[in-house]
Amino acid sequence: MNVIEKLEVLADAAKYDVACTSSGVQRSGKKGQLGAAHQAGCCHSFTPDGRCVTLLKVLMTNACVYDCAYCVNRASNAAVPRTAFTPRELADLTIGFYRRNYIEGLFLSSGVAGCPDRTTELMVQALRILREEYGFRGYIHTKTIPGTSLELIDELGRLSDRLSVNLELPSKQSLGLLAPNKSRHSILTPMRHIFESVAEDKESRALAQRRTTVYREKRMARKTRAFAPAGQSTQMIIGATPESDYQILNLSAALYTQLSLKRVFFSAYLPVVADPLLPATDAVQLNREHRLYQADWLLRYYGFNVSEIIDEKNPFLAPDVDPKANWALNHLDFFPVEVNTAPLEALLRVPGIGVRGARLILRARRQSTLGEAELRRLGIAYKRARYFITMNGAYGGSGIDFSRDALHARLSAPIEGGRHGRRADRAVQGQMSLFEAVDAPPVLPEASPANRAALDVAFEAQRRALAQPAAIGAPARAGESERPPILGADTSPAECGGASQEGAPHGDAVCEPLLSVA
């Protein structure tokens, strides 16, 4: 396969990894080097179902010795063509796409070719070429393979902006059943190490800044690359196993409080391979995934606790109303809230008022008394908020029955017209392919015949240069060490020096969470 053919296979295989998040880095461009993680960011473009596509999201290889039941790249799936990038191929491809303004960063994951350490070494080589040889300063998000040695994780952290370790499934029992090659220990060990390394790096850099007033020494301290400055995240598959939303949200809360994760991603289970252990359903739980993201937002930004959103008696989120509206319906004694006097914490509990809207209200009411017109100008979703607020004593939902059933009926009714309605008409179910045809209006006017011919010649030359990188096993370039072969599917993790991984018991009736709440 040439590089473009490999890209088609490995980019398509990577579409089930979620990386829809901002870069979290304030690093601007620099003369003589490439990329900037601040100006354009890394998540300004989304698919219709909310997934970010600004990164080059690709696998190092889709060959894998693991046999996870839900994964399209599982070892027993003979229908998938296997291929791999060399470190040089991946680095050249990333730089080529960046120079063409196709991407703003790299999201790199991989199957386990041979063993975790062997695969991670190849990823480190590729990132080192990008950072040190090409001077690439753009955003890089790297998936860490469970079972990787801590020394290699340290190298990855110095070369990446964000690291993530997939939690895969919400409980130890589900992990042992569907991913027998992975274990709770192999997943949580690198997550704890990343958490400790990020904290130590921040502390040491702050200490170096405080110890000296000499500008040159402070500048040298800033020039050393930070360890994963955008922190770490993780991903869970939702719907492949019977865990409830209550268990999932408690696990997320524990990850935020105990390991300081920046984000927990939820991925609705997609039936891509047939297996008797997987649910026999064609219904993708995108609505459940959406509700979990809404609840996760309440935990992170709105000051809610898990016990306020959901409980053991009702372990699943309401499908017809969002979690914040559901809390409001269950606590009508808290409302209505007077927008001209209520504190920030109370405003954040009102459906239709977000974090930005609440802060705008606090600022605007210092100048004048707020009414309906002022709230609409501030961008408040007044159609939802009016049932729960008063404006200088006047109830926004005048003439409406202030009862749970009546308000529930109004809040659960589909939105008619407006931006949300137009977006819903264009909604695409499932994952977006990077290579499918997309109808879009032309961005630039049509070029003249002479300009078009010149562009065709230039693009053809670029395509040929991009499609002829060094092949696997080719002599190393000057200054590069000899690269090991990539597709080592015949090598077991034990032979590669990786730690043995215990499978969790399958027969327990109660699912033990991977991480308990402190």
Question: pLDDT by residue (tens digit) across 398-411?
Answer: 888 999 999 999 99
- Mean pLDDT on 320-339: 96
pLDDT at 101: 81
Report the distance separating Cα 156 and Cα 507, nearest Å.
Answer: 37
Is the model's pLDDT at 23 over the cut of 70?
Answer: no
Residue 500 reports pLDDT greater than 90: no
Q: What is the pLDDT of residues 103-120, one digit of tens each?
A: 888 999 999 998 999 999
441: three-class secondary structure by DSSP? coil
Lowest-confidence range among 15-19, 273-277, 333-337, 514-518? 514-518
**Contact call for residues 116 and 147 (beta carbons, < 8 A):** yes
Does residue 451 register a pLDDT over 60?
A: no
Q: What is the pLDDT of residue 448?
A: 54
| pTM for this model (two decimals) | 0.76
Confidence (pLDDT) at 47: 38
* Domain spans, the chain: 3-238, 332-414
Name the pairing type of β-strands 337-338 and 263-268: unpaired
Least confident of 4-18, 382-396, 448-462: 448-462
Going by pLDDT thresholds of 50, 70 and 90, the confidence category of residue 89 is very high
Return the CA Rg of the chain: 25
What mean pLDDT is predicted for residues 351-375?
Answer: 96
Asked if the bond preceding 336 is cis, omega within 30° of 0, the reply is yes
- In the numeric block, the tokens 């590669």 are attached to 496
Range scoring the smallest mean pLDDT among 54-63, 190-199, 326-335, 411-420: 411-420
Decide if pLDDT at 433 tops 70: no
d(CA 485, CA 487): 6
Q: What is the mean pLDDT of the chain?
A: 79
C-beta of residue 355 within 8 angstroms of C-beta of residue 302: yes
Say which residues have a Cβ less than 8 Å from residue 313's Cβ, sequence separation at least 6: none
> What pLDDT, on the 0 to 100 scale, is given for residue 214?
61
Residue 469 has pLDDT above 90, yes or no: no
Q: Which two tokens stand for residue 435?
A: 């290579």
Model confidence band, residue 475 (pLDDT cutoffs 50, 70, 90): very low
> Given this model, what pLDDT does residue 336 score?
96
Residue 215: pLDDT band with limits 50, 70, 90:
low
Per-residue model confidence (pLDDT) at position 8: 86
Which DSSP symbol is given to 84? Answer: B
Lowest mean pLDDT among 9-13, 315-319, 330-334: 9-13
Q: What percentage of the chain exceeds 90 in pLDDT?
A: 54
Cα–Cα distance, 473 to 482 (Å, whole number): 9
> Within a 10 A sphere around the Cβ of 216, how many other Cβ atoms?
8
- State the pLDDT at residue 4: 86
Summarize the confidence of residues 239-268 as an average pLDDT: 94
Q: Which two tokens stand for residue 251?
A: 């696990």
Does pLDDT of 13 surpass 60?
A: yes
How buried is residue 478: exposed, middle or buried, by Cβ count under 10 Å (0-12/13-18/19+)? exposed
pLDDT tops 50 at residue 150: yes
For the chain, percent of residues with pLDDT exceeding 70: 70
pLDDT attached to residue 315:
95
pLDDT surpassing 50 at residue 478: no
The DSSP code sequence of 183-203 is -HHHHHHHHHHHHHHHHHHHH
pLDDT at position 327 over 90: yes
Q: Is the pLDDT of residue 296 over 50?
A: yes
Sorting pLDDT into bands at 50, 70 and 90, what band is 31?
Answer: low
Between 52 and 318, name the one with better pLDDT.
318
In CATH terms, 3-238 corresponds, of 3.20.20, 1.10.10, 3.30.1380, 3.40.1710, to 3.20.20
